[in-house]
Amino acid sequence: MRYQEIRAAFDSETITVYQAYNKGIALPAIKNNKFEKPFSFNRMTWIKPSFLWLMERSNWGNKSNQDYILGIKIKRPYWDKALSMGVLTDPDKHVYSSGHEWEQKFKEAKVHIQWDPERTLKGGKLQERTIQVGISRFLIEAYNNEWISEIIDLTPLVKKINALRKAGKYKEAKRLLPIEKVYPLDDETEKRIGIR
């Protein structure tokens, strides 16, 4: 693995990202394959293609208001477009010539890109980093109405994997994880979002 790269479950048409919500947001989304209020259309929403990163963040669906784990299938052209618009949340010297350049781009950004330590099945941090993509309020209607192909309730699967983890059955748990592989991108987008 490279230090920063996108690993995800994807096919020729869609890429799966993960989010955690409460029942009031999750159940209508699963039913209708789109979000509706009380989902907020006025603030940034963060989508993550790393299943284990979200498991760590949501404590396997046990954190308050994060008890439903959703797998959101996004049409790949929209995912690719979002990345091509992305601006990092920090002034990475490998990407920006100066802090001033980054600051100007960040102010105008409609998509934010953040890299966080990838996680293991046991919750430990890896040296490699995984991506979070922040969709701003300027794009969130399009995200909801055009980008999403399907929303899947992964909560039962998450509970099953977590029960195996707690029982120390890590081999069995690992077999149930989504298969994530390196997501292909053009050189310009890789450079823009800090893949290295």
Per-residue pLDDT of the chain (196 residues; tens, 9 = 90+): 789 999 999 999 999 999 999 999 999 999 999 999 999 999 999 999 999 999 999 999 999 999 999 999 999 999 999 999 999 999 999 999 999 999 999 999 999 999 999 999 999 999 999 999 999 999 999 999 999 999 999 999 999 999 999 999 999 999 999 999 999 999 999 999 999 9
Task: Give the model's pLDDT for residue 18.
Answer: 98
Residue 2 inside a domain? The answer is no
Residue 130 inside a domain? The answer is yes
Nearest C-alpha neighbor of 86 from the set 114, 125, 121, 62: 114
Task: Give the model's pLDDT for residue 1.
Answer: 74
Range of the domain at 78: 7-192
Residue 186 inside a domain? The answer is yes
Q: Distance between CA 183 and CA 2 in Å, rounded?
A: 12
DSSP symbols for 143-177: IIIIIEEEEEE-HHHHHHHHHHHHTT-HHHHHHTS
Please identify which residue in the block is written with the tokens 């099953």: 160
Residue 100 inside a domain? The answer is yes
Whether residue 27 contacts residue 77, with contact meaning beta carbons closer than 8 Å, is answered with: no
Whether residue 49 contacts residue 15, with contact meaning beta carbons closer than 8 Å, is answered with: yes
Task: Give the model's pLDDT for residue 26.
Answer: 98
Residue 128 inside a domain? The answer is yes
Peptide bond before 38: cis, by omega within 30 degrees of 0?
A: yes
Task: Give the model's pLDDT for residue 177.
Answer: 98
Whether residue 113 contacts residue 49, with contact meaning beta carbons closer than 8 Å, is answered with: no
DSSP 188: H
Residue 166 inside a domain? The answer is yes
Model pTM? 0.95
Residue 1 inside a domain? The answer is no
Residue 114 inside a domain? The answer is yes
Whether residue 35 contacts residue 71, with contact meaning beta carbons closer than 8 Å, is answered with: no
In total, how many domains does the chain have?
Answer: 1
Handedness of CA 96, 97, 100, 104 (dihedral sign): negative
CB atoms within 10 A of CB 75: 15
Q: In this structure, are strands 111-119 and 86-88 parallel, antiparallel, or unpaired? A: parallel
What residues are paired with 125 via a beta bridge? 119
Task: Give the model's pLDDT for residue 142.
Answer: 97
